[in-house]
């Protein structure tokens, strides 16, 4: 069974070359960002996550919301295994698909077809799995003969179509997203929306950050609000 369990997760970012002198207190009283600390001997750090407890099970579609700098992307990266918690415990059971930056790792000198393999491998698919999906991904992208051309010859919208078609072809137990994905021109957007929904509803667990109340209400079964790296318990539903 897919499952995410976290206890008192903290993430500190060390800041190199940061000024050691604090600005006046009234300037520091801001509504955004993690807590900046200047401990002697430790240098300057930003505590982006501060004691996060999580218990996410199959069937949960969890929305992460909160101000800029409240820790949403950091939490997604911790769940994706990009960052290790500085403190606390995290157990992620299941195959994780991270759609945090769908065009990362794209080789612009390689063809669309070659990029399907490259991206597929990065997403954790085997070569055989990618071969099985090749036809479907190519046809969904509607890139026609361009699929055999180097990606550097694509427009930015064409690159996103390709990246989106690959990213949404995966099968995973846990899906991580930074905002609802929507790409392409008016015609493509409609079918991209259907494809996103199909992916989200067939994946046992979704964790998605979003600033859109409508998307969170529409897609998620519960919402976690982060505030300065902590869970705002009063806002959970």
Inter-residue contact 205 to 94 (CB < 8 Å): yes
Task: Give the pairing type, strands 61-66 and 205-209.
Answer: parallel
CB atoms within 10 A of CB 122: 13
Nearest distance from C-beta of residue 14 to ligand ATP, angstroms: 8
Residue with smaller CB distance to ligand ATP, 72 or 161: 72
Q: Applying CB under 6 A, which of residues 9, 54, 74, 227 lies at the interface with ligand ATP? A: 74
Strand spans (E) along 109-173: none
Neighbours of 27 (CB within 10 A): 8
Task: Please choose, out of 20-28, 68-76, 97-105, 107-115, the segment that lies near ligand ATP by the rule CB under 6 A.
Answer: 68-76
CB 153 within 8 A of CB 111: no
Other Cβ atoms closer than 10 A to 125 = 22
Q: Which of 2, 52, 54, 72 binds ligand ATP (CB under 6 A)?
A: 72
Judged by CB under 6 A, does residue 73 bind ligand ATP?
yes
Q: What is the footprint of ligand ATP within residues 26-45 (CB under 6 A)?
A: 33-34
Residue number with CB closer to ligand ATP (132 or 211):
211
44-63 positions binding ligand ATP, by CB under 6 A? 46, 48
**Min separation Cβ 211 and ligand ATP, Å:** 7
Least Cβ distance, residue 27 to ligand ATP (angstroms): 16
Q: Which residue has the tokens 């500190």?
A: 12
Tokens representing 122?
């990065």
Chosen residue from 3, 7, 10, 13 binding ligand ATP by CB under 6 A:
13
User: Which of 63, 66, 112, 204 forms a contact with ligand ATP (CB under 6 A)?
Assistant: 66
Q: Nearest approach, Cβ of 102 to ligand ATP (angstroms)?
A: 16
Are the C-beta atoms of residues 67 and 31 closer than 8 Å to each other?
A: yes
Tokens of 50: 């501060």
Q: Both tokens of residue 99?
A: 């759609």
Which is nearer to ligand ATP, 40 or 68 (by Cβ)?
A: 68
Q: Is the separation of the CB atoms in 115 and 147 below 8 Å? A: no
Looking at the chain, the number of H-run helices and the number of E-run strands are 7, 10
Contact flag: residue 69 with ligand ATP (CB under 6 A): yes
Q: How far is the CB of 215 from ligand ATP (least distance, A)?
A: 14
230 binds ligand ATP (CB under 6 A): no
Distance, in Å, from the CA atom of 61 to the CA atom of 209, rounded to the nearest integer, reads: 11
**Closest separation between CB of residue 20 and ligand ATP, Å?**
16
Residues that bind ligand ATP (CB under 6 A): 13, 15, 33-34, 46, 48, 66, 68-74
């Amino acid at each position: 069974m897919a499952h995410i369990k976290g206890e008192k997760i903290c993430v500190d970012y060390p800041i190199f070359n940061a000024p050691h002198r604090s600005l006046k207190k009234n300037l520091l009283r801001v509504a955004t960002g993690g807590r900046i600390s200047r401990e002697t001997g430790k240098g300057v750090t930003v505590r982006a996550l501060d004691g996060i407890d999580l218990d996410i099970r199959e069937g949960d579609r969890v929305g992460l919301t909160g101000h800029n700098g409240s820790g949403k992307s950091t939490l997604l990266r911790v769940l994706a295994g990009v960052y290790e918690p500085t403190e606390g415990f995290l157990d992620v059971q299941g195959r994780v698909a991270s759609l945090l930056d769908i065009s990362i790792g794209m080789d612009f000198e390689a063809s669309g077809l070659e990029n399907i393999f490259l991206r597929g491998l990065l997403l954790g698919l085997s070569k055989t799995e990618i071969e099985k999906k090749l036809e479907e991904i190519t046809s969904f992208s509607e890139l026609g003969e361009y699929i055999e051309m180097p990606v550097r010859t694509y427009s930015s919208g064409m690159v996103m179509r390709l990246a989106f078609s690959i990213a949404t072809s995966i099968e995973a137990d846990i899906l991580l997203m930074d905002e609802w994905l929507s790409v392409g021109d008016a015609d493509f957007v409609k079918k991209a929306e259907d494809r996103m929904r199909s992916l989200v509803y067939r994946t046992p667990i979704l964790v998605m950050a979003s600033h859109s109340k409508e998307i969170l209400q529409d897609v998620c079964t519960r919402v976690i609000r982060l505030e300065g790296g902590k869970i705002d318990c009063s806002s959970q539903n």
